[in-house]
Structure formats: C-alpha cells, structure tokens
C-alpha cells in the first residue's frame, strides 16, 4: 500500500527545511535522520524520558510525541542552537561547573527543558526544580543532586 506523503516546512536552528514525510513519521526521527540533528537522543519513544526534548516555538516538547506533520510552520531549536559561537549559555556552563552529567545522554533534553522553564520562573526553589523544571526528564545515571545544583546555579546567574 502506498502511503501519501505530505510536505512540511519547518525551521530548525534557524534554517528552513522542506521535507516530504509520511503522516506517521515522528519529529524525532525527521530531526535525526533527515536533518542530522543527532544531538537529540532517543530513549523511551513513549513520552517518559525526555531525552528527545527540543523547543518548538519556544516551548519544550518531547519530539517523539509529535508527528512531523504537526510541526509544519514551527520554529524548532535543539541544544546545538544554544551556544553562541562556542560560548556556552549560563545553563550549559552551570551543568559543566556543577558536574551535572555523567554519560550525558539525558543532558540535551534536560537543558532544553530547563532553558524554557527558567524563562518563566527565574528564582525556583529546589523543590520546584525537581517537581517542575525536571518533571518531564529522567536521568538514568541518577545524578539528580548535581542536576538540581546546576539549575539552581544557572537561575542565580540569569536572575
């Protein structure tokens, strides 16, 4: 059976792309396989781990939970778009300084989720960091104390 493809226009890290995709193709798949965004990691593919988190029109979304056709016209940012000519953002620097990653698999997704969260809450408590900023992201290395430290440090710098 031939499945009809749909044309989708999407901006990824400032660059416009037009792709022809089957309606069932996931955004995570399109970003990784067609646009070379291998910084997006795939874990559960079921909206649990958050490893695939990107920002779509400024909101963090789990890209495995979106069909690419739903992203038509969207402005997508991945973690690769954060650093400015090699200069890390305050959040990225805080993750480095606080040793907030071990294998690093969860880190791109967490950084994108935190980047959006700190736009809305510039002075979160540690409880808010755990229960709100990080609620959609899992770290299988379980280094949560350092991740919370990093978000707290980043928030202080951004405030």
Contacts to ligand FES by CB under 6 A: 42-45, 47-52, 62, 64, 101-106, 139-141, 143
| Paired tokens of 54 | 């990107």
Least distance CB 105 / ligand FES (angstroms): 4
Cβ atoms of 56 and 75 within 8 Å: the answer is yes
Least distance CB 9 / ligand FES (angstroms): 23
Cβ atoms of 6 and 20 within 8 Å: the answer is yes
Nearer to ligand FES, 3 or 103 (CB): 103
Nearer to ligand FES, 42 or 122 (CB): 42
Phi, psi of 29, rounded to the nearest 5 degrees: -65, -45
- From the number of C-beta atoms within 10 Å of its C-beta (0-12, 13-18, 19+), residue 89 rates as middle
Least distance CB 142 / ligand FES (angstroms): 8
Nearer to ligand FES, 50 or 124 (CB): 50
Least distance CB 52 / ligand FES (angstroms): 4
Q: How far apart are CA 20 and CA 26, in angstroms?
A: 12
Nearer to ligand FES, 8 or 112 (CB): 112
């Amino acid at each position: 059976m031939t499945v009809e493809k749909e044309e989708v226009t999407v901006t990824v890290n400032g660059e416009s792309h037009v792709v022809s995709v089957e309606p069932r193709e996931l955004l995570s798949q399109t970003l990784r396989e067609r646009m070379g965004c291998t910084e997006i990691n795939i874990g559960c593919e079921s909206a649990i781990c958050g490893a695939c988190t990107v920002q779509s029109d400024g909101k963090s979304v789990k890209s495995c939970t979106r069909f690419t056709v739903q992203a038509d016209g969207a402005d997508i940012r991945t973690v690769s778009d954060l650093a400015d000519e090699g200069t890390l953002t305050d959040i990225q620097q805080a993750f480095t300084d606080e040793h907030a990653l071990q294998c690093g698999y969860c880190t791109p997704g967490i950084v994108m989720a935190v980047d959006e969260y700190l736009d809305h809450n510039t002075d979160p408590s540690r409880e808010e960091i755990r229960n709100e900023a990080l609620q959609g992201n899992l770290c299988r290395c379980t280094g949560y104390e350092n991740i919370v430290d990093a978000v707290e440090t980043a928030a202080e710098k951004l405030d």
